[in-house]
A and B are shown apart, each in its own frame.
Chain A
Amino acid sequence: DAKTTQPNSMESNEEEPVHLPCNHSTISGTDYIHWYRQLPSQGPEYVIHGLTSNVNNRMASLAIAEDRKSSTLILHRATLRDAAVYYCILRDPEGSARQLTFGSGTQLTVLP
């Protein structure tokens, strides 16, 4: 799987937007960009994924650069429950039997 690079940690104030960046300069044409998050003492939770176009769901938005070498996960209004480690992962659905390879992720701290 292609490598992703994320900041180790970020802070946000409650009820403010959060932009979590991810660089993936070696992304291939068939790789989907997946975001998962892991709350303390829980398994990872799916957040969102996309290929080329920006995506929105009830949890977040995903903005994908035109050259696909970077993406940004956007939490529109951070809450204390959004404090977690956020993982940006590339995955080829053609090889979807393969596992997800987790990097170190970004630890998001939400301040009240």
Chain B
Amino acid sequence: GAVVSQHPSWVICKSGTSVKIECRSLDFQATTMFWYRQFPKQSLMLMATSNEGSKATYEQGVEKDKFLINHASLTLSTLTVTSAHPEDSSFYICSARDRGSATGELFFGEGSRLTVL
């Protein structure tokens, strides 16, 4: 099946630094990718929708200047957590839609666990 890869799978950083997470669709083209965040014992919460070649659409309550999203190609979207703080520690997951799929099936990355000290 289609594969979506995230990198890094985990990262530890100091408070105030920025962290970039990459999401790649390995064997299909994705015009749209989605970024989710998941806190312990909770469900996935959508943060933003990343559209290739245009600005991302952010969900209510998600700061676009803090969570920078770039979707420069049909196979890569990046999420940059700027000036990270301990409350940003979470499991970040991306998903991508195979635009060639009739049912619009979504595929998920393995997730990236961010720990901010």
Spell out A's residues near B (CB within 8 Å).
32, 36, 38, 41-46, 49, 85, 87, 91, 93, 96-97, 99-105
Chain B residues in contact with chain A, CB under 8 A? 1, 4, 6, 31-32, 34, 36, 43-46, 49, 91, 93-95, 97, 102-111, 113
Main secondary structure of the interface of B (DSSP, over half): strand
A44 to B96, CA, bound (A): 12
- How many A-B residue pairs have C-beta atoms within 8 angstroms? Tell me: 58
Query: Is A102's CB under 8 angstroms from B104's CB?
Result: no
Task: State the Cβ distance, B37 to closest chain A Cβ, in Å.
Answer: 11
Q: How far is the CA of A40 from the CA of B87 in the complex (A)?
A: 21
Chain B residues positioned under 8 Å from A45 (CB to CB): 108
Cα–Cα, bound, A38→B107 (Å): 12
The interface residues of chain A lying within 8 Å CB-to-CB of B110 are 42-43
Chain B residues with CB under 8 A of A93: 102-104
Q: Are A104 and B103 in contact, with the CB atoms below 8 A?
A: no
Main DSSP-derived SS at the A contact region: loop
* Residues of the B chain whose Cβ atoms lie less than 8 Å from the Cβ of A42: 110-111
Rounded to whole Å, the gap between the CB of B116 and the closest CB of chain A is 18
> Would you call B97 and A101 a contact (CB within 8 A)?
no
Q: Which residues of chain B have C-beta atoms less than 8 A from A99's C-beta?
A: 34, 46, 49, 95, 106
Closest residue of chain A to B1 (Cβ to Cβ) is: A46
Among A41, A85, A101, A102, point to the contact of B111 (Cβ < 8 A): A41
Specify the chain B residue showing the minimal Cβ separation from A49: B103
Instruction: Contact check, A97 vs B108: say whether CB atoms are below 8 A apart.
Output: no
Whether the pair A103, B43 counts as a contact (CB closer than 8 A) is: yes
